[in-house]
Amino acid sequence: SQQGEEDPQALSIQEGENATMNCSYKTSINNLQWYRQNSGRGLVHLILIRSNEREKHSGRLRVTLDTSKKSSSLLITASRAADTASYFCATASGGTYKYIFGTGTRLKVLA
């Protein structure tokens, strides 16, 4: 069963707009990672946020974590056509580093 569930499943926006995608999970976690996957390619890690952190930034990316709601969000600001990809969250729980992935959000940025 999937630990993480991304929402929405698909998102289409105009270049320059912000894109927000959410991840909900079921059990307590050690940390949560966000990944990007371009069509037909491998996964690229974006950000890791630990359970004792609430927010992290990396360039145009902002990740928040709310452990009370068991949810995380990924915000991409000033989106570009090159941001078109699928985005996945992955969580590790129970004192392990066995990462379980969600089903992903497919983002399309229109030029």
Which residues are at the interface with another protein (CB under 8 A)?
1-2, 4, 33, 35, 41-45, 48, 88, 90, 96-104
Residue among 18 and 57 whose Cβ is closer to another protein: 57
Residue among 32 and 109 whose Cβ is closer to another protein: 32
Q: Which residues pair with 43 in a beta bridge?
A: 37
**Beta carbons of 108 and 85 less than 8 angstroms apart:** no
Residue among 48 and 61 whose Cβ is closer to another protein: 48
**Beta carbons of 11 and 108 less than 8 angstroms apart:** yes
Q: How far is the CB of 16 from another protein (least distance, A)?
A: 28
Torsion sign across C-alpha atoms 4, 8, 14, 17? negative
